[in-house]
Structure 1
């Protein structure tokens, strides 16, 4: 598996496919080992790199992964078959904003690494699919250092940065989530869904 993951890293670099960086990958593995999810939703398969990290470190988990690009799905499927994990992973081709509502599964973990401007939409749609104490792992939330601080945002990124700020505000202020922000890599948010507990207290 280590050699396959290294091959995937090389493929991603050569073909300019964005995958989680090494710091983020370490934190993802640590999170999976800590929470041991049995059902995982991945939003943004790309070539399946994060998919395999999750599957490898939670071998009993069933993973549903959504990817909008059919070419990337084909490549991810190849890598997943090489890893011998096809039975553990189900890739759905389509726009996550449309696919999420069709899923009939409750999830212990959600990994989000797709269109940055859609993060809040994804989260709102997936909330009704979350089990109590589900963990939401969201990558790239600081987007090249533009989301926090006084770095001037190029015009082409302003909408993404604005929406990421709205996403972070939501997960920090909504009482149904307990969120930690990690500034390593490109910024990672780890949120624990506490919705059921909150409603019981009110």
Structure 2
């Protein structure tokens, strides 16, 4: 049995001038653990370790874990050309959106590109919930339960229909959820603003 460990050091500035975000260059990290360390920046004690935190995971598989946040959708650069993206829904793990690995800084692109966010994310939501609502007991599957809880935060007070309900009822619920998601994040406005700005620049 072999163990493959990788590490990447990133900087978050100083106590007086902190950085609130940074990018990880190693795209092979799937669910990394993290540790915060504070070191001296003074010339006489440069690099002296002043304190450190316990390790935590960015995407915790536990329902309650301090310091970590649970992600319900992962993005993974992969060799899927000629397709730009592909949704991988597995039985016992959160869905993964595979992104053409040739796209530079793919993880940042999916979070910031207005076209991807406005046009692709709603399609991903539809595919995921079409699968979730086709199951007899989705609440018994941990990742599906997470998605149902997320849907309740987007569209509170409107529980999903059961798999035994009419197909049309399930589709309407998914469409209502997508509308609520798009409205909350102003997705149509963002894409219109981007296209309008590009026309002005010409």
Determine if the TM-score, normalized by the shorter chain, exceeds 0.5. no
Structure number with higher helix proportion: 1
Higher relative contact order (CA 8 A, sep 6+): 1
Structure number with higher strand proportion: 1
TMscore range, shorter length:
under 0.3
TM-score (norm 1): 0.27
